[in-house]
Amino acid sequence: MEIFKLINDGSKILEKRNISSHKLDSEILLSKALKKDRSRLLLNLNQFVQEKDIENFNALIRRRSQREPIAYILREKEFWSKNFYVCKDALIPRPETELLVENIVKQFKNKNISILDVGTGSGCILLSILSELKNSRGIGIDISQKAIKVAKNNQIKQNLSNRSQFLLRSIDRIYGYKFDLIVSNPPYITQKDYNNLDDDIKKFEPKIALDGGNDGLDVIKKVIYKSKSILKNNGTLAIEIGYGQYKKVSKILKEKKFKTKFLVRDYRENIRCILSTLQK
């Protein structure tokens, strides 16, 4: 069977499952099955494909038709122009989180800082920041042992083992350290909204990395409270928040003596990240 026929067949199967990116997904999955760049496939649409490769492709299409995210099928996701290893044990990195990294890098460019990444997941935030801040060091923590394993895999993949450390630990158990920067993309989805998430997310991504409790603020509050005792004076807390949470979070920050320094808006102009400094 030719490449173009396989792509069309896969696309039709995914379209029937209401997957909007059905054509692109079919192309990506065939490129994985054939171990070839997608661009090369599209330049050789009439090339015949061997039976074993067709079977591999069909198996990938079946997985995607069950709503398994492309990133988990490929076992990688691009973030900050780098390929990170991902699997169902850690949240898939989002483009919006790159905005957080971008603003942190701008603020601390050419500086030597100590960083704590709370709820590190795949480690993509900490490792991306360290890739830009060449003289800085950081610790990533998570309460999921499986997530820490993913982060350590990426630590090696990005050649940053000498400047990063990943620990199985809650922020409550961080003592004896003072950081210049604490960064976190915590679970901030309300329980109500969690139940309404797409199956791509709800059925495959770890609930522990998404569910922020009744109001979505359970972990956000914990990070803010604990940061007071482990941030240096004038240290920065950079935290990603959910849609519509800015007023509530900014009120908590103000109560805990944090001064808002910078707001990061997403591609729809919603406030998604708050950078604040601790005034002791």
What is the DSSP secondary-structure string of 2-16? BHHHHHHHHHHHHHH
pLDDT at 268: 87
Strand ranges, E, within the chain: 77-79, 82-84, 114-118, 137-142, 164-168, 179-184, 231-240, 258-265, 271-278
pLDDT tops 90 at residue 1: no
Domain assignment present for residue 73? The answer is no
Same domain for 193 and 259:
yes
Q: If 0-12 CB within 10 Å is exposed, 13-18 middle and 19+ buried, where does residue 39 land?
A: exposed
Map residue 216 onto helix, strand or coil.
coil
Same domain for 42 and 129:
no
pLDDT at 176: 84
Give whole-number Cα distances, 88 to 50, 83, 107, 209, 229, in Å.
30, 16, 32, 11, 33
Domain assignment present for residue 159? The answer is yes
Residue 227 neighbours by CB under 8 Å, 6+ apart: 171, 182, 237, 278
Domain assignment present for residue 204? The answer is yes
Contact between 115 and 141 under an 8 Å Cβ cutoff? The reply is no
Range of the domain at 175: 93-278
Same domain for 99 and 21:
no
Domain assignment present for residue 174? The answer is yes
Same domain for 221 and 109:
yes
The domain total for the chain is 2
237 — phi, psi (to 5°)? -110, 120
Same domain for 184 and 142:
yes
Same domain for 236 and 185:
yes
Query: How many helices, marked H, and strands, marked E, lie in the chain?
Result: 12, 9
Q: Across 145-154, 188-197, 240-249, 266-275, which has the greatest mean pLDDT? A: 145-154
C-alpha span between 183 and 172 (Å, rounded): 15
pLDDT at 267: 85
Same domain for 122 and 44:
no
Domain assignment present for residue 72? The answer is no
- What pTM was computed for the model? 0.93
Contact between 22 and 16 under an 8 Å Cβ cutoff? The reply is no
pLDDT tens digits, 137-147:
999 999 999 99
Same domain for 183 and 230:
yes
pLDDT tops 90 at residue 155: yes
pLDDT at 235: 94
Token output for 67: 């709503």
Domain assignment present for residue 84? The answer is no
pLDDT tens digits, 71-86:
999 999 999 999 999 9
CATH number at 59 reads 1.10.8
Give whole-number Cα distances, 269 to 147, 243, 263, in Å.
31, 10, 11
